[in-house]
Structure 1
Amino acid sequence: MKPNKKIILFLLLLIFVSAIGILHAITPGHMIFYHDTYRRLSYFPITIGAIFYGLWGGVSLAVLSCLAFIPHLFKFWANGPQAYYSELSEILFYLAAGLVIGLISSRENKLREKYKTLSEKLAGSYKRLHDQTSKLLAAEKQLGQSQRLSLLGQVSASLAHEIKNPLASIKGAAEILADEVPKGHPKHEFIEIMRSEISRLNHSVEDVLTYCRGQQKQDKGSQDSIENIINRVVLLLEAGLKEKAIQVVILSEPDKNRFVADKDAMIQVLMNIILNAIEAVEKNGKILIEFGKQGKECFVRISDDGHGIDENLVKEVFQAFVTFKKEGTGLGLVISKKIVESLGGTIEIKESSLGGAAFTIVLPEQKIENNENIQHV
């Protein structure tokens, strides 16, 4: 009970005891029934006081009830010692009732406080146990990922050797074709694309190995305008886009040509994200690519009208080996995030204006280097 309520209750009990004393005083002595009723009513404030206030409350109200009982005793003074002592014994019962009930109530209050303290300690122990369990589960999950990454690193070393040898052969064949097809030939552009993609694939293999070994990428690739990079990726994915009749809309800010980025790194990132978008949308779907500047940063946003990503699963998307595709490896977006962070940027997922998912890449503004190699479209 709150302190204010305890004070109010005690005052009400005092009023009740005083009222009983007044009734004893104004009721004639021959009305024994009324006096017996008042006498029994005195046990109520004593009992209530003992229950709510413990020993001191029971004894205090017992003493006050005894004082209120004095007018009743004076009425029996003239009836002789036998009648007087019979009424006087009621005082002893008042004191005994207040003492016994007060002791019981005080003991229960102490037990209640003890159990309350014990309950709070148990609640604290449960919370600590819950927190420790959560940390253990997180550590176990990280350990599992570390073990898988370690295994992947070992497998990747052998796969890299197997992939690089065919790439070298394909690159040699492309060089031969480039010598035989002059630059003015309509198909010379496709040979250049082949040579460029072979080189990028070779860099991608190195990036995967770097990620699996936990190393940071040291060298900085060539720069290009983000518009050129986006157009290049869309051209490379043209077959998949046509197969599902997907409409691609590219929107840019007026100062788009001042936005440059690491060419090979961003091609790999955008390839991973747009491939996911192509798989997410249905036939005749839509993919919106926006890019521009916001303050001192640059952004690229890829939105689609697919089924989207559940907000409860967004945090898991960038975890290694987490995939929602039947044949996915769960590494594409992890590597993309790693690449973006190595460029000093961030990547996040939100619901797109088209109803699907929206991947937003934010990069710090870069100074244009090797400006002569950047072709503005």
Structure 2
Amino acid sequence: MAKKESSLDRVLGRIESLDAINLTNLAQKLARERAYLETVFNTALEGILVVDEDGVVQYANESGQSMIGLNENDLGASILWRLIPGLRDSLGLKEGEPLRDSISSRELELTYPEQRYVRIYFLPFKEPVGDEDKQFVVMLSDITSEKITKEETIESEKIASILLLAAGVAHELGNPLNSLTIHLQLMERQLKKLEATPASEKLGNSLDVCRGEVERLDGIIKNFLEAIRPQDPDFQVLDLSLVLEEVLEVVGSELNDRGISVEVEVVTEAPIVRADRNQMKQVFFNLIKNAMEAMQPGGSLKIVSRSDEERIYLRFGDSGGGIRKSDLSRVFQPYHTTKREGSGLGLMIVQRIIRGHGGQVGIDSQEGIGTVVTLELPKRNRKLRMLEG
């Protein structure tokens, strides 16, 4: 259905033929339209910014100016990366690199002009306006009180049911696993009584594989239960690249079966942090599993580690189908999943663990291109500030 043409559109269509009086009337009407729209935007509680691809703030409503400490006189000159330190690194942008055409979501702590937590969405315009550079709408929502109230509600109402579910699943899986362990032990004893032959040696190797897989399943169940319970991390100095290697070794056969290539790149120094080894293994396992399930056979997973003066950044980028815009804000909610057999708990567990380590989780996604999940963690020599939830 074609958009209905307004009287203002009709006047603008013949602007070259207007005389001085009509031009004055048009200018006054445009001023009224602008004032009306300014009032609408300034009524919104959310911050609304428009930035170009270099992060220069071209427009900000009153809420946006208040949240990031921006003066109206600085519009067109102030750069968003300076107003919100850490945002550019969180988005994975190098100095001078333009914003990408992807929908991005971040949760960050601001310390100026006052301490608060904000949720930030980057939404690219469909097309550049006129001869201007590509522009992006940036939505800022103050979620400080939400972290105290909403997440406590989730804790009390949903996590209890998750614990009950997990306990039931662990019990139901534990019984057959115990039975498998017992029968594998019996088979191993019988095998030792047989004469050593190439066939018996091959059977022994198969038994070792089966026993290892049973132990791995048992470990997954235990890690799952530990991850969803609010436990304090057992901090130790870790090289996350070594922990990642351990996880990739465990899931290596499944990655090979799917024909998925994995590239790991450490851009700067080794990612040394103070963290709980088992919990970080659970985080990596969940993210890699999500990436595998999002990709078709033959896909690629790239994991990049880099750092700045205070934080370590780990980016998990897959070549899957991406996340729909309508789903992006709900990916951390318990039970929310777009997969037929998904539990909707994986990213919730990831966010819980990373927040327990004083970090944040960010997601960038573009439909048909893929998804990048960014983990931000404090360096080992930086004092942790634990986040609620």
Higher helix share: 1
Higher gyration radius (CA): 1
TM-score, L = length of structure 1: 0.48
TM-score, L = length of structure 2: 0.47
Higher strand share: 2
